[in-house]
């Protein structure tokens, strides 16, 4: 008897999850192309994840949030394949911001200061929330690290690692990302 309930759950878990995500998307006016990885559904249910109208999340996007964390994605944004947002505290993205394939935005880093404890058991450290302005574009495989603020109308070149604040209207590239020009 218990095995029939388990089989029903296993058969219907994914369609039920898809239906719940589709319901959130229809109410919020955003679009998700499956699969969406991470704790997005739970965060949407709890109000800790907000996605603006007209935003599109391509397949393979991964949104992961700590139990008290928040992620806010503005209207008209585009998160391409395999973009990952990881929040220990808060990640905010303004309107009309685009991420190319493979970008990572995280407001924390793994600790590694105790050589006697495995890294997987040391927890995380954070320099504060990540804030990304409106109308920004991130090239392929960009990384935005903890405590960084990126102003409006910025372009971050492919394969860049943003470790410091970027003023509005700046084109930045490199590892670490440095301003190339200002508009």
**Active-site annotation, residues:** 110
Q: Give pLDDT, residue 1.
A: 46
Q: What is the CATH number of the domain that holds 122?
A: 2.160.10.10
Q: Do the domain assignments include residue 27? A: no
Residue 178: inside a domain: yes
DSSP string for 25-80: HHHHT-EE-S--EESHHHHHHHT-EEE-TT-EE-TT-EEEE-TT-EEEE-TT-EE-
Q: What is the pTM of this model?
A: 0.88
Residue 119's domain comprises 36-182
Q: pLDDT tens for residues 143-178?
A: 999 999 999 999 999 999 999 999 999 999 999 999
Q: Domain count of the chain?
A: 1
First-to-last alpha carbon distance for the chain, in angstroms, is 67
């Amino acid at each position: 008897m218990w095995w029939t309930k388990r089989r029903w759950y296993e058969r219907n878990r994914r369609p039920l999850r898809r239906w719940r995500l589709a319901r959130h998307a229809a109410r919020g006016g955003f679009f998700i192309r499956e699969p969406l990885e991470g704790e997005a559904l739970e965060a949407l249910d709890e109000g800790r994840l907000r996605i603006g109208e007209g935003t599109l999340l391509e397949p393979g996007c991964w949104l992961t949030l700590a139990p008290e964390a928040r992620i806010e994605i503005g209207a008209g944004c585009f998160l391409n394949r395999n973009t990952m947002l990881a929040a220990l505290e808060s990640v905010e993205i303004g309107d009309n911001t685009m991420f190319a394939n493979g970008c990572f935005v995280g407001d924390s880093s793994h600790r590694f200061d105790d050589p006697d404890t495995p890294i997987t058991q040391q927890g995380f450290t954070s320099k504060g929330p990540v804030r990304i302005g409106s109308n920004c574009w991130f090239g392929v495989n960009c990384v935005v690290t903890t405590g960084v603020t990126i102003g409006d109308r910025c372009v971050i070149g492919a394969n860049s690692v943003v470790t410091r604040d970027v003023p509005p209207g700046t084109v930045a590239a490199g590892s670490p990302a440095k301003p190339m020009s200002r508009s």
